[in-house]
Amino acid sequence: MLRIGVVGCGTIGRGICRAIDEGVVKAELIAVYDRNACDAEKLRGQFSRFSPEFMEIAKMVKHIDLLVECASQEAVHDVVPLALTSHCDVLILSVGALADEGLRNRIEELASENSCKVYLPSGAIAGLDGLKSASIGEIHSVTITTRKPPQGLAGSPFVVMNNIDLDSISDATVLFEGPAKDAVKAFPANVNVAATLSVAGIGFERTLVRVIADPSVTRNIHEITVKGAFGEFSSKVENVPSPANPKTSYLAQLSAIATLKKISSPLQVGT
């Protein structure tokens, strides 16, 4: 059975661990790690089938087949190359880290040299299947508009560096418009989905991102438009935010669980 280690015991990490423990994903939960050891310790006691050990990454990678990163972009730099070098597959949630071309190339090279897979779940968006098919032909444009309640954008480098008072926003306000490579640095905990779109489609320079703070919404809304030789499509997801972390949509967690389910199942459905 697939042996999994989870790095990041926050909103998504907890959901993934629960899904493994409940048998939704046919795998063994071997180890967990969080830089906040208290969060990891609290989580460890919550399972009925598994008793994952709290393990530093260097030890974890010796005991698992697949490392799940659901921590932060910084963690991708620290743990993913190490996991691949140790012949572990990886599933990455903090996909924005891959805007760093050096890191992206290194991850691809290490995965290839060590015969490992790197999985990027769809996250809180719909339409990656269509984009992947369409990108076999010519793509003209990919845009994503992300609309969140202002407090869902709190703490992002863009908001902090520009001294934006989110409480004073009374109408929908476009805070950012630009390429995905800049968007994922400006809003590292909000637009990882734009990074996943970039990897699946036309890259971080050409994928365009608009971030709107909108006090009239209670959901995290992602609208995607893709145009190309195939024609065009749009998708819109109105996501329920996770109660524990309003920046993160519930669908993001479900998407990671669905990817793990696919990995651990003989049946593969969809593009």
Ligand X SMILES: NC(=O)C1=CN([C@@H]2O[C@H](COP(=O)(O)OP(=O)(O)OC[C@H]3O[C@@H](n4cnc5c(N)ncnc54)[C@H](O)[C@@H]3O)[C@@H](O)[C@H]2O)C=CC1
Q: How far is the CB of 171 from ligand X (least distance, A)?
A: 26
Buried b (16+ CB within 10 A) or exposed e, 79-106: bbbbbbebebbbbbbbbbbbbbeebbee
By CB atoms closer than 10 A (0-12, 13-18, 19+), residue 216 is exposed
Please say whether the dihedral angle defined by the alpha carbons of residues 209, 200, 136 and 270, taken in this order, is positive or negative: negative
Give the Cα separation of 260 and 120 in Å (integer). Answer: 11
Q: Which two tokens stand for residue 65?
A: 């087949």
For ligand OAA (CB under 6 A), the number of binding residues is: 13
Q: Which does 65 bind (CB under 5 to 8 A by kind): ligand X, ligand OAA, none?
A: none
Decide: is 72 part of the binding site for ligand OAA (CB under 6 A): no
Decide: is 252 part of the binding site for ligand OAA (CB under 6 A): yes
Instruction: Please enumerate, by residue number, every residue annotated as part of a binding site for NAD(+).
Output: 124, 192
Tell me, residue by residue from 159 to 198, as one string, x for binding to ligand OAA by CB under 6 A and - for no binding: ------------------------------xxxxx-----
Interface stretch with ligand OAA, choices 97-105, 126-134, 242-250, 259-267 (CB under 6 A)? 242-250
Residues 6 or more apart whose CB falls under 8 angstroms from that of 212 comprise 145, 146, 147, 148, 172, 173, 174, 175
Catalytic entry in 63, 87, 140, 222: 222
Q: How far is the CB of 148 from ligand OAA (least distance, A)?
A: 7
Give the Cα separation of 135 and 147 in Å (integer). Answer: 26
H helix or E strand, kind and range, residue 120: none
Decide: is 239 part of the binding site for ligand OAA (CB under 6 A): yes
Known catalytic residue: 222?
A: yes
Phi, psi dihedral angles at 115 (to 5 degrees): 50, 45
What residues make contact with ligand X under the rule CB under 6 A?
Answer: 7-13, 34-36, 39, 70-72, 74-75, 78, 93-95, 123-124, 189, 192-193, 196, 245, 248, 252
Summarize as ranges the residues that interact with ligand OAA (CB under 6 A): 123-124, 189-193, 220, 239, 247-249, 252
Could you give the residue numbers annotated as active site? 222
